[in-house]
Amino acid sequence: MSCLFCDIVEGKIPAQIVKKDDHVVVFRDIQPQAPTHVLVVPTKHISTINDLTGQDAAIIGKMVMAAQEVAVAEGIDESGYRMVLNCNKDGGQSVFHIHLHLLGGRTMQWPPG
Ligand code: 5GP
Ligand code: ZN
């Protein structure tokens, strides 16, 4: 089955890559919702957060640490930022390869829409 984010991880589809290592790829969202809006994607294909198992716990840790590193690099660590994981229809998930949104550079609203 084809997967957009697997294709980006494998370099088959271009993206503005911010960081890449063996475990995660970070790239800019094509429709940014904030001055900084990047997606942190594990190199391993996992469809939704529901599909995570205990063995994937380290992956989530690496995703959050990558987002923290990019927040510093983007200069939004002190002003603040938001990390978001959407799951399935009600969560607003549109790409079924898990991804952590890192948004910052403006004041976020609460509650989210
Ligand atoms: P979701 O709605 O699943 O939480 O987030 C998917 C995100 O992927 C959206 O913010 C959307 O703008 C972004 N996106 C969709 N297609 C592409 C693409 O081809 N390239 C990039 N860089 N981002 C994409
Ligand atoms: Zn995938």
Closest ligand 1 atom to residue 31 Cα is 12
C-alpha 51, offset from chain centre? 16
What is the CA(53)–ligand 2 centre distance, in A?
16
Mean pLDDT to the nearest integer, 68-93: 98
> For the chain, which domains are there?
4-104 (3.30.428.10)
Q: Which of 41, 85, 87, 95 to mutate to test the pocket of ligand 1 (most atoms within 8 A of CB)?
A: 95
For residue 82, give the nearest of 108, 64, 59, 112 by alpha carbon. Answer: 108
Name the active-site residue from 23, 37, 45, 99: 99
pLDDT, tens digit, 9 for 90 and up, residues 85-104? 999 999 999 999 999 999 99
pTM for this one?
0.98
Catalytic (active site) residue 97: no
The more confidently predicted of residues 52 and 113 is 52
Q: Which phi and psi angles does 36 have, rounded to 5°? A: -110, 120
Whether residue 1 has pLDDT greater than 90: no
